[in-house]
Copies of this chain bind each other. A is one copy, B any other.
Amino acid sequence: MELFARTQSSAKRSAIASAGGSPAFSLAEVAKLVQPHLEQVDKRIAQQAAAFDPAIEGYVVYTVGSRGKRLRPLLTLLVGGATGMIDSRHIDLAVIVELIHIATLVHDDVMDEAEKRRSQPTPNARWGNSLSVLLGDCLFAHALTLSTNFKNSDISRAIARTAATVCSGEMIQTQRRFDLNLKVEDYLRIVQMKTGSLFSAAAELAAMISEADPNAIETFKNYGFQVGTAYQIYDDCVDLAGTESVTGKTLGTDLRKGKFTLPVLIFLRSASEFERERCCQLVLDEKIEEMIELLKNGANNGALNESIAVGSELIRKAQCAFDGIKPNRYTDALFSLGEALCDMFGQLRV
């Protein structure tokens, strides 16, 4: 199935996309190209529960079952197709990166005390924090167990290292909560580590499995890195400007937990001395709700649009990299994936 006219240069594709005459881009549209493979991934993820002790199988079933966007598997499969033929090792890789992602979500929700995700109660809301910390650990350990099945130990090493990077990024983010001195660059480094790295590994390792040439591996790795970073920026903007009924998750948690995301940091960067000082005082006085109100109002104007521009720019850069790659319908779909993300950004614009 063709998702995009095909094999055009990215400049030409961009022109078409922005001319308004392009087909509607959505993740669901992009996913159609690898739908049977995505279904295999879902089936395989669901099957993983059986690898756990019967006493805890139920928790795993619940947690891996609530269908997310499966963005990382989608990326893995598209890069697999772009660099050769999607085979069972790409499916394995997709399962592993999604399980690592799910494990981090379980821990995120514990830390954020989030009540809902994908319109379902979170594991911590259902079973408490202790059980959820361990559930995350189990999923994590299981994903890394699966990764040792790759014949090439470079792949399992890269996966474990990426998992460490993701957690390190989250740790720095947690360390710098309520830190009004956090810079935009610090924020970007955090999202690169916590999200960019796993997207990057998904793309890079999918190309490695296909035995693509080093240049192509590097190109897809960078594509994953930039798209992943952009996606996290998007997700952070949604937390500030989205609606719960659409996203299916508890929103506004970032600010409440002291996580200053891109729109907030951009606002603070250009805020008046008075606004910054007022913000500091509210943090010191632990008047969190008032601080949220101030920052939310501040960020929900130019700062939100500027954040959207930063994210969209990253995606454009990622798309440009394809100019050096032999095009096929999968590279076209990867290009469209970027368009879909840009469209999602566009919907947040105020």
Name A residues whose Cβ lies closer than 8 Å to a Cβ of B. Answer: 52-53, 55-56, 59, 104, 107, 110-111, 129-131, 133-138, 140-142, 144-145, 147-149, 151, 153, 156-157, 160-161, 163-164, 166-168, 170-172, 174-175, 193
Whether A167 and B111, one on each chain, are in contact in the complex, defined by CB atoms closer than 8 angstroms, is no
- Given A107-B137, A111-B130, check contact A144 B167 (CB 8 Å): no
- Given A157-B145, A164-B142, check contact A135 B56 (CB 8 Å): no
Whether A160 and B144, one on each chain, are in contact in the complex, defined by CB atoms closer than 8 angstroms, is yes
- Copies of this protein in the complex: 2
> Quick one: which of B56, B145, B167, B172 contacts A160, CB cutoff 8 A?
B145
- Given A156-B156, A171-B131, check contact A164 B148 (CB 8 Å): no
Query: Of A52, A111, A134, A172, which is in contact with the most chain B CB atoms at under 10 Å from its CB?
Result: A134
> Quick one: which of B59, B110, B149, B172 contacts A157, CB cutoff 8 A?
B149
Whether A172 and B110, one on each chain, are in contact in the complex, defined by CB atoms closer than 8 angstroms, is no
**Measured CA separation A134–B104 after assembly (Å):** 9
Whether B110 and A167, one on each chain, are in contact in the complex, defined by CB atoms closer than 8 angstroms, is no
**Measured CA separation A311–B167 after assembly (Å):** 38
Minimum CB–CB distance for A42 against chain B, Å = 21
Whether B140 and A141, one on each chain, are in contact in the complex, defined by CB atoms closer than 8 angstroms, is yes
Whether A153 and B164, one on each chain, are in contact in the complex, defined by CB atoms closer than 8 angstroms, is no
**Measured CA separation A56–B175 after assembly (Å):** 9
- Given A56-B175, A134-B174, A148-B148, check contact A141 B129 (CB 8 Å): no
A-B contact pairs, 19 of them (CB 8 A): A53-B168, A55-B171, A55-B175, A56-B168, A111-B129, A129-B129, A131-B174, A135-B171, A138-B171, A140-B140, A140-B141, A142-B164, A144-B160, A147-B160, A148-B148, A149-B153, A151-B153, A153-B156, A156-B156
Whether A55 and B160, one on each chain, are in contact in the complex, defined by CB atoms closer than 8 angstroms, is no
**Measured CA separation A142–B148 after assembly (Å):** 15
